[in-house]
Structures are given as C-alpha cells and as structure tokens.
Structure 1
Amino acid sequence: GPRLSLSVARSLGPSPSLRRRLSLSLNLNLTMDYHAKSEQVLLFSARGLKNSDTFSKSDPYAVLSLMELGEWKDLGATETLQDTRDPDWVDQVCVTYFFEEEQLLRVQIFDKDESGNDDVLGSAEFSLGHLIGAVGMGLKLPLSPQGELIVRAEEKIETGLHVKVQLQGSKLKNKDGFFGKSDPFLEVTRANEDGSYSVVGRTPVIENNLSPVWPQLVLGAQRVSNGDLMRPLRMQIKDWDSNGSHDDMGHFETSLEELSVPGGSWPVSYNGKTKGSVSILGEPSQFTIPTFCDYLRGGLELNVIVGIDFTASNGDPSRPGTLHHYDPNSDNQYQEAIRSCLTILSEYDYDKHYHVYGFGARVGGGPVQHLFPVGGEELKDGVDGVMEAYQGAFADIALSGPTLLKPLVEFSMNKAKEDRTSGKNAYTILLVVCDGTLTDMGQSINALVEASREPLSVVLVGVGNADFKDMDKLDGDGGMLKSSNGNSAVRDIVQFVPFRDYGGAMAGARLAKAVLAEIPDQVTAYMFAKGISPGHPDPPAFETGDNMAGFGVREPAAPPSYEDSVAFNLPGFGPPIPPDL
C-alpha cells in the first residue's frame, strides 16, 4: 500500500502540492488496503413478497448489512418502490470484497410505513464469496418467510462519463382502452452475462400520451453500463398504474454508444410485432463529470473544523471509564475519533491549521457557552496541536449542557460561504464528535438545510452507548433533510457514524474509512451543481507533453443543469426514480 502512493508521487516529479494531493488521495482509499480486494456493485430484485398492507400492495425497500465482530452493520439501502410485490430496485450498494475473508451479508426487505413502523417482509443471508463465485455473479435465494431474493454483483468500473439524450415516442401501444391513453415511462435495463437484465434507471411518467417526450436523460456510464458504452441496454416502455401493476407497452434494444449518435430511432417490439417507435430528439452528447481526485489535482483544498461535545452527559472527566477521561496509556473515544479522522483529512490541508470549537460547557466559571474556541482563538497546528488543545481544555471548563449543534453548523457554514464568495478553491468539512442526541434537533436541521447550499460537509461521530436513533435522521441516506418551513436540502451533506460500531483490530482506520466514505461524492455533487470544473494543477518541474500519462487538465463539456435532467448517476441528488413509482 505505502509503496504505491510513494511511487506515484515520485513519477509526478518534485512539485510538492501536486505530489501531496495525488499520493495522499490514494491514502483515503488505501487506509486498510493491505490485502487483495475489489469494489463490487450489488443490485437487488425480489419476487412474490408477502403483502403487509390491507388495502394495497406493500411499498418495499431493501437494506444490505455485513456481519462484523458479531454484529450486523448496515452498508446501504435501496429506494422505496410503491405498491409492488415484485420490486426491481434501481439503487445500487457498493461492497468491498476481500478475497481472503469470509464476508457474511444479509438483505432485509421492509414495507415503508408513514408512521415509521416499517414491517419486515423477508430476509436472506449469503456470503459475498458465494455471490462472486456464482455463475454470472448472481444468486436467487429464498426469503424468510416468503418470496425470493435476486442479487447480482459486478466489479465496479470507475468512470465519470455521462451521456445526455432526450427521447420521444411515437404511436405507442395504448393499454388503457377506448376511453383513455397510456401513461408511459421508460425503464432502463442492462444485459447481464447470463442473458438476464437488471433495472438501472427509470424516467418520469408522461400522462395520457402515446407520443411522449420524456425529460432529458443524463445516463451515467458507471451506473447504467458499468463503463461499457457497447453493453446492450433494453429500454422497456411501461404504462404506469396507481396500483403498481404497470403494463408492458413494448421494448427496444440499444446501447450508450447508440444513444450518443444524433438521429437514432428504434422500432418498439410488442409481442413480436412493431408497435410504435422511439427516437432521439435534438443533439445527444457525451460529457465527463470530474472525479474527486480531479478536483484535488486541480488544487482543491479541504479545510477542517473540529467540534467537540463538552456536555455533562459525557460524565465526570476525572472518573475512569467516562468519555472524556484522560489516560496517558490509551486514547479515549474522543481522542481516537479525532485523531483517526484528522490523520486522513490533514493530508489534504496545505497548512494543517485547524479551528477547534467546543459546545455545552461553562468556560472560566461563566455561563454555559454553545460555541467557544478550545485552547484559545488561534488556529491549532496539526493533529498534535488539536489533541493538545483538547487535553488542556479541561483546566478551564466545567461540563454542562444542553447539547446544541446549530451554532457550530452556522459558524462553519459562514466560513465556507466566505471562501466561496472570495473565490477561494476550498471546501470545508466540519468534524463533530458528540455523545448523544441533540437538544435542538429541529433548529439544527434548519441550519443543515441552509448549509447544503455551501461548500460544506458535516461528519458526526457518536461516542458512548447512547441511543443514536434520532441522529440517524440527520444523515440524508433515507432522503433529503427538510426544514420546519418545508424547504429541502439541495444535497446530502451529513454523515453520521456511531463509534461503537468500529471496535476491534484497526478500529481507528476502519472508523476513518466509514466516516469519510461520502466526502468525495459530496464534494463532486456540490461542484457539479455549481458548474465548477477542476482548476489547473501545479505544473511538474519536467516536461510531460500534452496530457501525458493522463495527468493533464481535463476540460469536460459543460454539464447539463440538474433542473431539466433526470440524473441516473449524479451523487448527492436523491433517488433516480420518480417518487410516484
């Protein structure tokens, strides 16, 4: 692992900032990379689910978990589909496959309930090695107590390539009889090795129209075809029905390569006969959305603000076993969380100077303060400086409460806004370590919704054994946050991780990997939304020619606006299916 990052750094010449950004961007991925591994994309379908709703079909979603240290750890979840017992989910979940490890996975399928009491529809367990070794890397497993799970795996091919295209139908099959017209939508499926097809995207519904013009599509090559532009795609046309039993209107075969060529047209096959056609409207195009590493190569600086919970619920720091207790022989959970995450993040911060703020304590015998500098106003020098400030803080503070996060979020948001308005090529990460739920949950959500418009990500690490159920609400994995006045966050900026889920060997490295997993997508989502391309990296001291070895500046075509596109593979912009499907 370390030899890889050093050899890349040397091959790029002596330019210090470029060498640091590239070699240490690899560290984010190599934190635990001492064995053979690969990133696998998992897709899920189910058939014959039990029905838990009285007057309609279930609204299923699937959750993937990994058995780790004797406990199930959630890895990801699909979107929720409405009114169906035979779901084909679009959302994919990535899993790191270690060849030499036995990795036991579990898929649980739930029925989404507005009350929050989601019923379990079924579950199945399997090893990742069994899935990888299966014919076509696919398994059909019985669900307990009823139904069948279909899961497929494919090694992930990283690519930022996207195809922008708009499709229109003509004289499609009518499935609504003499007194109505069909409500068509496109279901995009890709071919698998065994001849089956997996759903990878859906368009919005066009109501009462047999010659529909669907909104412009942005088809991410990674999600749609795993980077293969010639991979066969089957575009299934369906008539939307409110009860979930969408009727077949026919299909046509194509590929991302064909969808990139102007003037493309395909006859629609329905029961072996041609019924209508679908053609390209206007000029399709290909463009590349830059990756996280592209932005780092272009000089993007990550600024880190550290927030520490000093409320009384952490326990008396003088007593062994409490969360802030100092032991010269071992780190407490606050120290381990801060040190592990900052060690990775510090490699992207050029000056390695950090703001460190506390909340929920009385300072110098005064009243409770909900935002105060730890160790003085001056910036802390490096990870060691942050740790020294944390350890020295207890000489001047008394733990108190309540736990209010809003002031720290607003402070960080304003810092990020200052960088944006001044034109600085920077992105801010707020790292907060706290021991329980927030007293100002509603106000904090309001602040986070507002902050989603700025170059900011918020990482929350929960320490101790508190019930963190409410904290999970801040993580946008289940849908965008909404403020009290109904405004939605424009992107997901929050990642919450309980520290207790990452004990055992290499706990700090595993925690850092989990905490920082969403940062690259959050950065690229913000840059895409703002139309920001990577800047020019520092030139190496030797001549490389034009774009030699792939390290030159890439100038992508202008990306489409999200408002007039259906994004199949744009991170941070919510589910890629219409909510009424």
Structure 2
Amino acid sequence: GVPPSKDNWTHQYCLNGIPGKKCGTIVLSAEELGNCRDYATMQFCANKLDKKDFFGKSDPFMVFYRSNEDGTFTICHKTEVVKNTLNPVWQPFSIPVRALCNGDYDRTIKVEVYDWDRDGSHDFIGEFTTSYKELCRGQSQLNVYEVSRDKDRNPSQSTSLHYMNPYQMNAYAMALKAVGEIIQDYDSDKMFPALGFGAKLPPDGRVSHEFPLNGNIENPYCNGMEGILEAYHQSLKTVQLYGPTNFAPVVNHVASYAAAVQDGSQYFVLLIITDGVISDMAQTKEAIVNAAKLPMSIIIVGVGQAEFDAMVELDGDDIRISSRGKLAERDIVQFVPFRDYMDRTGNHVLSMARLAKDVLAEIPDQLISYMKSRAIKPNPVPPAYSTSDHPQTNPV
C-alpha cells in the first residue's frame, strides 16, 4: 500500500477470485477528515414538483451528496419518501457537518430529488446545488432553489434546444442573430464579450456560471454577431452543459463594467438567452435591483416550451422588481418568449424582425430614463455637412 499523506491518498488492490487470473481492481480513495464536530439540523419542503406517476402524483424523496476533492460526489443522506404529493414537507433531520461538507462551509453540496418507485427504478425529478454556508442563512429567499433537470442538455441530441442541426439554426442561434444584428449597429467597434453560464469546463470539469464562449478568459470579446455565433458553436463542442442555472454572475459581470462608466458616455445592454430555468432567483433579483442604478438594460429571450413565470417576474412590467424590501430604481428588464415569434408559414425573416422590434422596444426609454435621472444632457448636434467645406478639385 501507499502511506497516507496529510491530504488525499489512494490504495489499489487486485481481486484474485480465480487463481491465475486478474479479475479487476478496486480503487479506494480517501480524504482526511476535518476536525469539525458540529451538527446541522435541517428541514426542507418543495412546491410544484414534476408529476411523474401516470396515476396519482409523485412520491418524492431527496438525496444529499458531499462533493469530494477529486470532483466526485458521495451520498451522505437520504430523506424519507412523502407519498402522493407535488408539495412535500420532509421531516427535520440532523447530520454531522463533517459528513455534509467535511467542515468546509463553501464546498458544494448537491441535492437530487426523485420520485420513488416500488421496483427501485426511481424517476429523476431534478437537482440543485448549495453549500453549508448558504444553508446557514436559514429560512429566507436566499434558500429557495429551482429544481432543474439536466435533460435536453446534450447538443448532439435532437431533443436539446442547443441541437446543432446541420440544416438550420437552433433557437438560441436564431434569437442571438435576430436581436444581435440590430444591437451591434449601436457599437462602434463591433467587439462583444460573450459569456456562457451553466457548464462544466475543461480540463477539470469545474462548474461555471460566467465563462467566455471563445475560451479566452483574458479576452472574451468576439468580432460581431458572426464571431459570437462561431464561439457559441465551438463552446458546445468543448464544454458540458450542466445545472444549476445561475443568472446573477453574468448580471453582476456586466454591472461591474457599467459601474465604471456612469457619465453617460456609454450604455450597456445585456442579452440573455435562456430556457427559463433559474436556480438563483433571489440573488438575480438583488443583482437587477443594484443594476437598475447603472447605465444598463437587460434583454431576456426565453427559448423552448417551459413556463416562463420567473422571467415574467424579472421583467417587472406589472410589478416592479424588488429585493430585500428595496424596489428597483427603474425597470431595466425586457422579456419575450421566442416561441411567440415563430412564423407558422416558415417565414423566419419576418418573425425574427418582429422579435427584434419587440425585444428592443423598451431600450430607448430605459436609456433616456437613466440619463434624465442623472441630469446628463445630450452632446450638441454636430454641424451640418456642407459641400463648400470640401470643394471638388475636378468638377464635372
């Protein structure tokens, strides 16, 4: 065997069930336990879980996983099954913090939700991730999680919204092209930072919610819409799409740029294309409320057939978005569902023109509202062009 180090250690043993034949290898990976002696007592409930049973409702239970230093996960707790409900309330349970996260409060905790089946073929309902640090906040908006499914995430499968069809663009690419080709005309150098969120990145498989589509962390800028589309298609070949889906990191990313230029010389527009699943609603609301003070707007285009209730809430047309009792200074979000713009006759040019028109409809007023709130006045109109200023040397 290999002597244990102070971090990780690995032993390998050969199975010799049949004399003279190597039957396989067991790899035992171990991690040094922290000295934390705390216990955590928690209780969870859920609302509107997916219905999995043909007759009746689901029989949900939860499985908790501790993340290991090598990127794998180990089951550390299972709840009881709550029968025939989509709104379960599980019993409180206690667990050693060492078992939950090895005493590392920031370490990822993965939670999966299943519908129990008598034959053991439990149906996957969805999952979310958290940390003990977040759980310690107790009952609050910040501890409400969207249970997301990782189905339809493989771009090589025709069921995926990211499916790379050789004959036509997918919904993400169509929405990006329709809106982006108009937005780009308001940018002088046509260089755009393009970010992805919700994927495992090479080489170590870490999950990121703010990664450059072109793979260049130092320079995430893409040349025009064609450059963004190319980076998007390339990223689908290199990253593994993965939940949860967090919006707040990209909103805060753009907000940091906008915060640095508040004199009216620049205005930022963030275009988010999403299937509507959001795992950090509370954090996203807080990010938007903070961004409403800055020279920026957010366009959200929802693709797919999901319910977009959360996106409508972020839009704030009916009820102004708020976080921790604080209202957004102004409405900066415009949401439209992509499916409403699919022309049944197949006229994509016309339907995409309608999409772009409606998506951009609120941007002028949002820009003006920011400028007026900061008493920023437009620059003087440049002098009119005159041919006398540039006499022809060879008149015809």
TM over 0.5: yes
Q: Give the match's secondary structure for 2:200.
A: strand
Residues 353 and 537 from structure 1, CA distance in 2 versus in 1: closer, same or farther, beyond 3 angstroms?
farther
**Offset at residue 541 of structure 1 (A):** 3.7
Q: For 1:408, give the aligned amino acid.
A: V
**Aligned with residue 416 of structure 1, among 245, 251, 258:** 258
1:516 aligns with 2:360: yes
1:366 aligns with 2:208: no
**Aligned with residue 404 of structure 1, among 246, 253, 263:** 246
Quick one: distance in 2 between partners of 1:424 and 1:522? 13
Quick one: distance in 1 between partners of 2:228 and 2:329? 32
- What residue in structure 1 maps to residue 280 of structure 2? 440
Greater fraction strand:
1
**Offset at residue 329 of structure 1 (A):** 1.7
Q: For 2:333, give the aligned amino acid.
A: V
Out of 452-461 and 464-473, give the one that drifted further.
Answer: 464-473
Instruction: After the TM superposition, list the runs of 4 or more consecutive aligned residues in structure 1 that deviate by more than 3 angstroms.
Output: 311-314, 537-541
Quick one: distance in 1 between partners of 2:342 and 2:234? 26
State the Cα RMSD in Å.
2.0
Please give the per-residue CA displacement for 1:225-259, whole angstroms capped at 9, x wherever unaligned: xxxxxxxxxxxxxxxxxxxxxxxxxxxxxxxxxxx
Q: For 1:362, give the aligned amino acid.
A: K
**Aligned with residue 502 of structure 1, among 294, 317, 341:** 341
Residues 503 and 495 from structure 1, CA distance in 2 versus in 1: closer, same or farther, beyond 3 angstroms?
same
Q: For 2:207, give the aligned amino acid.
A: V
Map 1:175-324; keep pairs closer than 5 Å. 312-324=150-162
**Aligned with residue 482 of structure 1, among 322, 325, 328:** 322
1:480·1:490 contact (CA, 8 Å) conserved in 2?
no
Structure showing greater relative contact order (alpha-carbon pairs closer than 8 Å, 6 or more residues apart): 1
Quick one: distance in 1 between partners of 2:269 and 2:150? 26
Please give the per-residue CA displacement for 1:469-508, whole angstroms capped at 9, x wherever unaligned: 1211011211321112x11101000011111111103221
Q: Give the match's secondary structure for 2:323.
A: coil
Which structure 1 residue ranges, 5 or more long, are not aligned? 1-310, 545-581
1:327 aligns with 2:165: yes
Quick one: distance in 1 between partners of 2:208 and 2:159? 25
Q: For 1:497, give the aligned amino acid.
A: V
- What residue in structure 1 maps to residue 49 of structure 2? none
Quick one: distance in 2 between partners of 1:536 and 1:312? 53
1:359·1:371 contact (CA, 8 Å) conserved in 2?
yes
Q: For 2:340, give the aligned amino acid.
A: D
Residues 465 and 381 from structure 1, CA distance in 2 versus in 1: closer, same or farther, beyond 3 angstroms?
same
Q: For 2:227, give the aligned amino acid.
A: G
Q: For 2:378, give the aligned amino acid.
A: P
- What residue in structure 2 maps to residue 349 of structure 1? 187
1:337 aligns with 2:182: no
2:153·2:242 contact (CA, 8 Å) conserved in 1?
no
Please give the per-residue CA displacement for 1:250-278, whole angstroms capped at 9, x wherever unaligned: xxxxxxxxxxxxxxxxxxxxxxxxxxxxx
1:313·1:435 contact (CA, 8 Å) conserved in 2?
no
2:276·2:310 contact (CA, 8 Å) conserved in 1?
no
Please give the per-residue CA displacement for 1:348-379, whole angstroms capped at 9, x wherever unaligned: 11111000000010110421011111112431
Q: Give the match's secondary structure for 1:335.
A: helix
Q: Give the match's secondary structure for 2:267.
A: strand
Q: Give the match's secondary structure for 2:272.
A: strand
Quick one: distance in 1 between partners of 2:224 and 2:317? 32
1:314·1:435 contact (CA, 8 Å) conserved in 2?
no
1:360·1:404 contact (CA, 8 Å) conserved in 2?
yes
Q: Give the match's secondary structure for 2:317.
A: helix
Residues 349 and 388 from structure 1, CA distance in 2 versus in 1: closer, same or farther, beyond 3 angstroms?
same
Please give the per-residue CA displacement for 1:293-329, whole angstroms capped at 9, x wherever unaligned: xxxxxxxxxxxxxxxxxx9454310012421111232
- What residue in structure 1 maps to residue 306 of structure 2? 466
- What residue in structure 2 maps to residue 391 of structure 1? 233
2:297·2:366 contact (CA, 8 Å) conserved in 1?
yes
State the percentage of identical aligned residues: 39
Q: For 2:322, give the aligned amino acid.
A: K
What is the TM-score of this pair, normalised by structure 1?
Answer: 0.39
Aligned length: 233
Which structure 2 residue ranges, 5 or more long, are not aligned? 1-148, 389-396
**Offset at residue 424 of structure 1 (A):** 5.9
**Aligned with residue 291 of structure 2, among 438, 448, 451:** 451
Quick one: distance in 2 between partners of 1:533 and 1:361? 42
